[in-house]
Amino acid sequence: MRVLSGIKPTGKLTLGNYIGALKNFAKYQNENEVFIFIADLHALTLPIDPEELRNNIKLITAFYLAAGLDPEKVTIFKQSDVSAHAELNCILQNYLYMGELNRMTQFKEKSQTMDNNAIGLGLFTYPVLMASDILLYEANKVPVGEDQVQHVEITRDLVNRFNNRYGKILVMPEPEIAKVGKRIMSLSEPTKKMSKSENDKGDIFLIDDLSVIRKKIMSAVTDSGSEIKVDIENKPGITNLLTIYAALKDISLEAAELEFKDARYGDFKKAVAETVINIIGPFQERARKVIESGEVDRVLNEGAIKAAKVANITLHKVQKAVGLK
């Protein structure tokens, strides 16, 4: 099986990114052919400072390695280093339509507060580039958080449309969503997704000091009542903390619920905070070491060469199918 995923280097990565995406990547690496990349071209779809972008790219690469990805087994690369992404994007943009792109939740959410004259085309055509990312590597599985599933679904529509017209050229991908933690919520507003570009006090950033992480969890919004149970409607805060705990311990939500059946909110929060800190602390330490070692550039350079070999084969197939070659 081929597995592919990526993260956009915008803003500071959150615990949501860790649980919904990062933490799941390494488990594929022993039995599959895995491609994990940094979606730097996608980062340009909203205004970003160049120096910040450069730093984010480095940091995410370090996070990939700190999360256990082994560059001997996994191809780790930067999207813009492999020009086939832009080339395939240019072809595939003709097979997705304005109406369907207009219905994408991410586009609606990101553009709704923007002035119409300031919405870049790239934000609108984001799913075309994402489809190109996935299809170039003939990925069968695409592990993502819940918010990205719609983009994988539109990629599937594109595959059907393209293959109906040209024959069996593109490989059908499938989204893979974490059983627990596909959508981690803000600690201060548990009905909102924890998101790296929103920056509020309810987001736990992977580079936060451990003392800050503890403070954020201890002051997480809960609800009146004293029961610790899963109830998204009436107890979104408690449900979110249970989800974080279960995801990090790799247990089911039911098992987490059972563990805290008779606990008080304060003790429960303390246990969640310790769990997060015991995982994120060593993770930060490993990332720091990677950055100091200068390994990042080497990994990305070697990754780009390996990725380009695979990507160019698919690009060539598509060029031939449509009549460019």
The answer to whether 5 contacts ligand LTN (rule: CB under 6 A) is yes
> Residue-wise over 290-309: b if at least 16 C-beta within 10 A, else e?
beeeeebeebbeebbebbbe
| Subset of 122-151 contacting ligand ATP (CB under 6 A) | 144-145, 147-148
**Tokens standing for residue 147:** 């918010």
Please pick, among 12, 58, 73, 110, the residue that the annotation labels catalytic: 110
The answer to whether 135 contacts ligand LTN (rule: CB under 6 A) is no
Residue 138 Rama label (left phi>0; alpha psi -120 to 50; beta): left
| The length of the chain, given as a count of residues | 325
Is 134 in contact with 142 (CB distance < 8 Å)?
yes
Identify whether 179 is a catalytic site residue.
no
**Pick from 195, 152, 220: which is nearest to 17 by CA?**
195
The answer to whether 6 contacts ligand LTN (rule: CB under 6 A) is yes
Identify whether 193 is a catalytic site residue.
yes
Q: How far is the CB of 226 from ligand ATP (least distance, A)?
A: 27
**From ligand ATP, ligand LTN, none, which one binds at residue 197 (CB under 5 to 8 Å depending on kind)?**
ligand ATP
- The only residue of 4, 104, 159, 194 in contact with ligand ATP, by rule CB under 6 A: 194
| Subset of 154-193 contacting ligand ATP (CB under 6 A) | 181-184, 193
Q: Give the CA-trace dihedral at 82, 284, 11, 208, to 10 degrees.
A: 180
Question: Residue count at the site for ligand LTN (CB under 6 A)?
Answer: 14
The alpha-carbon radius of gyration of the chain (Å, integer) is: 20
**From ligand ATP, ligand LTN, none, which one binds at residue 134 (CB under 5 to 8 Å depending on kind)?**
ligand LTN
| Subset of 19-78 contacting ligand LTN (CB under 6 A) | 39, 42
Is 130 in contact with 53 (CB distance < 8 Å)?
no
The answer to whether 246 contacts ligand ATP (rule: CB under 6 A) is no
CA-to-CA dists, residue 7 to 43, 56, 154, angstroms? 9, 11, 18
Nearest to ligand LTN of 101, 263 (CB atom): 101
Pairing type for strands 141-143 and 74-78 reads unpaired
Q: How far is the CB of 308 from ligand ATP (least distance, A)?
A: 23
Stretch that binds ligand LTN, among 129-137, 184-192, 246-254, 317-325 (CB under 6 A): 129-137
CA 44, CA 217: separation in Å to the nearest integer?
Answer: 32
- The only residue of 8, 141, 151, 269 in contact with ligand ATP, by rule CB under 6 A: 8
What is the contact surface with ligand ATP in residues (CB under 6 A)? 7-8, 10-11, 14, 16-17, 19-21, 144-145, 147-148, 181-184, 193-197
The set of catalytic residues is: 110, 193, 196
